[in-house]
Amino acid sequence: MTQEHKRLRSVVKGVGSALPKRCVSNRELEREVDTTDEWIVQRTGIEQRYIAGDDETTSTLGAAAARAALATADCLAEDIDLIICATSTPDYTFPSAATMIQADLGITKGVAFDVQAVCAGFVFAVATADKFLTSGSHKRALVIGAETFSRILDWRDRTTCVLFGDGAGAIVLEAQEAQAAEGTAADRGVLTSQLRSDGRHRAKLYVDGGPSTTQTTGHLRMEGKEVFRFAVGQVTDVMREAFAATGTTADDLDWFVPHQANRRIIDASAQKLGIAPGKVVTTVQFHGNTSAASIPLALSVACADGRIKRGDLVMIEAIGGGFTWGAVIIRW
Ligand code: ACO
């Protein structure tokens, strides 16, 4: 008798987040930067952001988010055999933030590494973890998005410094058998991931320093209008492909949790795909753009307030520097 081998799915067991102690409102920023609350809210929807203090780094925020995710997953640190941290602002050029978080959590087994795809980092990290878990090589993963973008902002450049904030979010993924051998869209877990990159767009969004060029950390530079145009014009391709790969449509989605860069980009992308406004999770007003941390922060908010529930169909989607972009559909 042949035994049926069911495929594995990466199922979300828990989610958590962490923010720096200091919250900075637009009004407070007005004192330091030539800007206004009205300009920021109208152009971006951002009302406040959190800024890391000297004692707060990407890895300390990431470790705090990981602990919160482990608590909701009812898992111990020792149950984890894979840690992937998405970040463009690690504490040091090396070692990775992931290995620092691993040590902070007291984990000595398994593997830990960073993924760098700027604001799309968390989507890339979930897709990467899913490949490890569904191959059967690893059992339980912490996937973290953690950033301290305040450290790479040029605070004299009002066109960029008002947009970003610091923070971290994390999820625990566990390899579980799907209901059927081939897997269906009714399974819990990651159902598909669609990733893209196109390096020709580097000059539109980049950091002007690094170890191999200037030997400095550098500052973020951005052509805001160009990024906006690409984000709304192109990014929906991966979302369409994610729907096609799972045989689902915008109507089947319970929640759309996009990268939180700008309310106008979020609204325009949802509208283009026919996703009802009531299904869109928006937290950019509270956190600003926290790059790779923005999606797990938003997931954490929407799980804590009871919106995202077990069995819900959730799409996460992001675009970041490079450009890099991607979408993942998860049944919670
Ligand atoms: N406060 C007040 N005025 C400002 C500010 C500010 N912080 N920044 C720019 N201005 C002024 C400009 O100087 C300009 O003045 P002028 O008309 O006298 O020359 C005016 O506001 C309009 O500037 P624009 O750059 O045309 O403003 P725009 O409407 O394009 O909005 C923005 C700028 C918000 C950056 C927009 O282009 C955008 O949202 N782009 C998307 C970029 C983004 O979200 N990136 C996030 C990082 S990438 C990612 O996460 C994927």
pLDDT above 60: residue 3: no
Residues 226 and 121 in one domain: no
3-state SS, residue 117: coil
Domain containing 325 — which CATH number?
3.40.47.10
**CB of 318 shorter than 6 A to ligand 1:** no
Residue 60: domain span = 3-177
3-state helix, strand, coil in the chain (%, to 5): 40, 25, 35
H-only helix segments in 120-235: 121-135, 158-161, 224-234
The pLDDT value recorded for residue 6 is 82
Where is the domain boundary, 128, 153, 177? Answer: 177
Cis preceding-peptide flag for 286 (omega within 30 of 0)? no
pLDDT above 70: residue 1: no
Give a yes or no: residue 57 inside a domain.
yes
Residue owning tokens 């951002």: 46
Q: What is the DSSP letter of 263?
A: H
Residue 158 CA: nearest ligand 1 atom is 7
**CB of 31 shorter than 6 A to ligand 1:** no
Rounded Cα–Cα distance for residues 328 and 120 (Å) = 11
Residue 35 CA: nearest ligand 1 atom is 1
Give a yes or no: residue 88 inside a domain.
yes
Give a yes or no: residue 139 inside a domain.
yes
CA of 183 to the centre of ligand 1 (A): 45
75 classed as catalytic: no
119 classed as catalytic: yes
Residue 291 CA: nearest ligand 1 atom is 50
Q: Which helix (DSSP H) or strand (DSSP E) does residue 11 occupy? A: strand 8-18
202-206-208 Cα angle (round to 5): 120
Nearest residue to 140 (alpha-carbon basis) of 82, 189, 78: 82
Nearest residue to 227 (alpha-carbon basis) of 244, 208, 205: 205
Give the residue whose CA is nearest to atom 50 of ligand 1: 261
- Pull the structure tokens for residue 317: 């989607």
Q: What is the pLDDT of residues 240-282, one digit of tens each?
A: 999 999 999 999 999 999 999 999 999 999 999 999 999 999 9
The answer to whether 35 and 29 have CB atoms below 8 angstroms apart is: yes
Candidate list 259, 262, 287, 303, residue with the active-site label: 259
Q: Which residues contact 192 (CB under 8 A, 6 or more apart)?
A: 242, 245, 246, 328, 329
Residues 200 and 264 in one domain: yes
**CB of 12 shorter than 6 A to ligand 1:** no
The answer to whether 24 and 262 have CB atoms below 8 angstroms apart is: no
Rounded Cα–Cα distance for residues 152 and 168 (Å) = 16
Share of the chain above pLDDT 70, in %: 99
Residues 25 and 98 in one domain: yes
The answer to whether 173 and 12 have CB atoms below 8 angstroms apart is: yes
Give a yes or no: residue 136 inside a domain.
yes
**CB of 43 shorter than 6 A to ligand 1:** yes
Give the residue whose CA is nearest to atom 5 of ligand 1: 159
CA of 40 to the centre of ligand 1 (A): 9
3-state SS, residue 164: strand
Where is the domain boundary, 157, 177, 197? Answer: 177
pLDDT above 90: residue 2: no
Give, for ligand 1, the residue of 227, 235, 266, 269 to mutate: max count of ligand atoms closer than 8 Å to Cβ.
227
Lowest mean pLDDT of 30-39, 165-174, 225-234, 322-331, name the range: 225-234
Number of domains observed in the structure of the chain? 2
232 vs 207, more confident? 207
Give the residue whose CA is nearest to atom 32 of ligand 1: 224
CA of 307 to the centre of ligand 1 (A): 32
Give a yes or no: residue 182 inside a domain.
no
10 Å Cβ neighbour count for 253? 23
Q: Which residues contact 147 (CB under 8 A, 6 or more apart)?
A: 58, 87, 88, 89, 166, 167, 168, 290, 291, 292, 293
259 classed as catalytic: yes
Residues 172 and 108 in one domain: yes
CA of 88 to the centre of ligand 1 (A): 22
pLDDT band at 180 (very low <50, low <70, confident <90, very high): confident
Q: Which helix (DSSP H) or strand (DSSP E) does residue 86 occupy? A: strand 82-86
